[in-house]
């Protein structure tokens, strides 16, 4: 077992100015070339074991091929945290994310939101078959409400069966400038304005008939949680979902670099875009203003570390935070919308039944500057991997990490006996 000494350390808060400039030196910003590979060096933190070397090799090769500046990996085996690693591949010596540093996790936020909804349902505070229009205001600010809108239930939002389809109608949650013009309001938009803008669109499918991944639907679930609880989405999730699991680091992220949370990593992209944070028309690095994180809370705005995510995923291993009935509901196949590839979307989790019994469950996440994945296997393993970049000049796939980590897990000949949870989650 090895520990580099970074296991309890993130790095200093990177605000705008010199700190951010130094951090960005090891990645790509506004199309500038990345630092040459020869200028980069490795800084690894956290704890692993010699038998888990396939994971380290996989991560380092993947990052080098794509020039990724920072990453985290956490792995569990039969309920024990056996690997908690951080990686920095950069010329910037100040970029030293430890295993508890915070990353934007993008759509890994959705299982967190689904957990909150299921918790409210089992407490009797919310009916999964309640009509969403009876819980929150879906009066469109412009346009005409689709007559099928009242047929959308909380359950359908959880399953991505609400009727919105971004393959047909571009994602409502990425259309801030258009929404501002339509509503006659200045940027930035509020979450309520995004909801009102989306309520004026026709549905692409009858509710409950067609699986189509919809960020807008999970944005509505955040509003449902607030309406039912009478408090902010973040406050409820922190107290009722995360705190019982001993998770205290997770929080909602902010859009600007100068608003970064303590220990939060910087984000990189080779692309730029016009800001949606104000009406200036400025061109900004895509991770810092091409979308507004504050209006993506329930669908994609959480910050987390990989060790926090595997701790969260463990809540789905057995009844505890959620009842056995809620766990079964989360992984149950919907009546419709099952994918031809043999997997389906349950409630906050993608699910693939395994021949002979059991299931693999997972979720991925992607934003400019962020690529993430969380996996639970049918045979008692789990892992979470977080990168602070999702594009680079190589054009290589970032989703390829999924198969590579599965391969690494199969190459492990003996699993460590240690459990690192006490190190990262002190009593």
- In this prediction, residues 159-178 reach a mean pLDDT of 97
Q: In this model, does residue 134 exceed pLDDT 80?
A: yes
Q: What pLDDT is recorded for position 7?
A: 25
Q: What pLDDT is recorded for position 141?
A: 85
Confidence band of 336 (pLDDT split at 50, 70, 90): confident
- In tens, the pLDDT along 19-72 reads 333 333 333 333 333 445 669 999 999 999 999 999 999 999 999 999 999 999
- Minimal CA–CA distance to 174: which of 390, 388, 367? 367
User: d(Cα 68, Cα 389) in Å, to the nearest integer?
Assistant: 6
- In this prediction, residues 224-233 reach a mean pLDDT of 98
Q: What pLDDT is recorded for position 36?
A: 55
Q: What pLDDT is recorded for position 17?
A: 30
Q: In this model, does residue 377 exceed pLDDT 70?
A: yes
Q: In this model, does residue 416 exceed pLDDT 60?
A: yes
Confidence band of 426 (pLDDT split at 50, 70, 90): confident
Q: Which residues of 351-367 are buried (b: 16+ CB within 10 A; e: fewer)?
A: beeeeeeeebbbbbbbb
Which range, of 91-95, 147-151, 283-287, 303-307, averages the lowest pLDDT?
A: 91-95
- In this prediction, residues 306-335 reach a mean pLDDT of 97
Residue 224 near residue 126 (C-beta atoms within 8 A):
yes
User: d(Cα 4, Cα 400) in Å, to the nearest integer?
Assistant: 28
Q: What pLDDT is recorded for position 27?
A: 35
Give the mean pLDDT of the chain: 91
Q: Name the percent of the chain lying above pLDDT 90.
A: 87
- Three-class DSSP category at 413: coil
Q: In this model, does residue 206 exceed pLDDT 50?
A: yes
Q: What angle do CA 301, 47, 251 make, to 5 degrees?
A: 15
Q: In this model, does residue 237 exceed pLDDT 50?
A: yes
Domains and CATH numbers, the chain: 12-109+240-266+296-424 (3.40.710.10), 111-232 (3.40.710.10)
Q: Name the percent of the chain lying above pLDDT 70.
A: 90
């Amino acid at each position: 077992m090895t520990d580099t000494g970074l296991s309890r350390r993130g790095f200093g808060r990177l605000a705008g100015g010199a700190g951010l400039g130094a951090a960005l030196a090891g990645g790509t910003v506004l199309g500038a070339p990345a630092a040459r590979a020869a200028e980069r060096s490795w800084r690894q933190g956290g704890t692993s074991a010699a038998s888990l070397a396939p994971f380290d090799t996989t991560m380092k090769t993947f990052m080098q091929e794509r020039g990724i500046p920072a990453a985290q990996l956490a792995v569990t085996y039969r309920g024990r945290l056996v690997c908690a690693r951080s990686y920095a591949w950069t010329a910037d010596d100040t970029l030293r994310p430890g295993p508890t540093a915070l990353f934007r996790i993008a759509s890994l936020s959705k299982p967190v939101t689904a957990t909150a909804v299921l918790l409210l349902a089992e407490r009797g505070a919310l009916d999964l078959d309640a009509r969403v229009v009876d819980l929150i205001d879906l009066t469109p600010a412009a346009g005409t409400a689709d007559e099928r809108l009242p047929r959308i239930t909380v359950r359908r939002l959880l399953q991505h069966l609400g009727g919105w389809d971004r393959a047909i109608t571009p994602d409502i949650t990425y259309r801030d400038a258009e929404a501002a013009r339509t509503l006659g309001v200045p940027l930035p938009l509020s979450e309520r304005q995004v909801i009102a803008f989306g309520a004026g669109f026709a549905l692409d499918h009858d509710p409950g008939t067609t699986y189509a991944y919809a960020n807008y639907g999970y944005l509505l679930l955040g509003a449902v949680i607030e309406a039912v609880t009478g408090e902010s989405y973040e406050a409820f999730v922190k107290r009722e979902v995360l705190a019982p699991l001993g998770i205290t680091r997770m929080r909602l992220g902010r859009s600007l670099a100068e608003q970064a949370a303590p220990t939060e990593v910087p984000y990189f992209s080779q692309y730029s875009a016009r800001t949606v944070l104000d009406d200036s028309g400025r061109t900004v690095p895509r991770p810092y203003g091409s979308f507004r994180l504050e209006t993506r809370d329930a669908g994609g705005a959480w910050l987390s570390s990989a060790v926090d995510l595997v701790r969260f995923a463990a809540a789905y291993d057995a009844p505890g935070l959620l009842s056995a009935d809620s766990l079964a509901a989360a992984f149950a196949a919907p009546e419709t919308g099952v994918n031809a590839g043999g997997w389906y979307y349950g409630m906050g989790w993608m699910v693939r039944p395994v021949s002979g019994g059991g299931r693999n469950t997972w979720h991925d996440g992607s934003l400019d500057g962020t690529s993430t994945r969380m996996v639970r296997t049918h045979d008692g393993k789990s892992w979470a991997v977080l990168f602070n970049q999702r594009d680079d000049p190589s054009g290589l796939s970032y989703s390829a990490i999924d198969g590579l980590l599965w391969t690494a897990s199969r190459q492990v000949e003996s699993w460590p006996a240690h459990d690192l949870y006490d190190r990262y989650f002190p009593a």
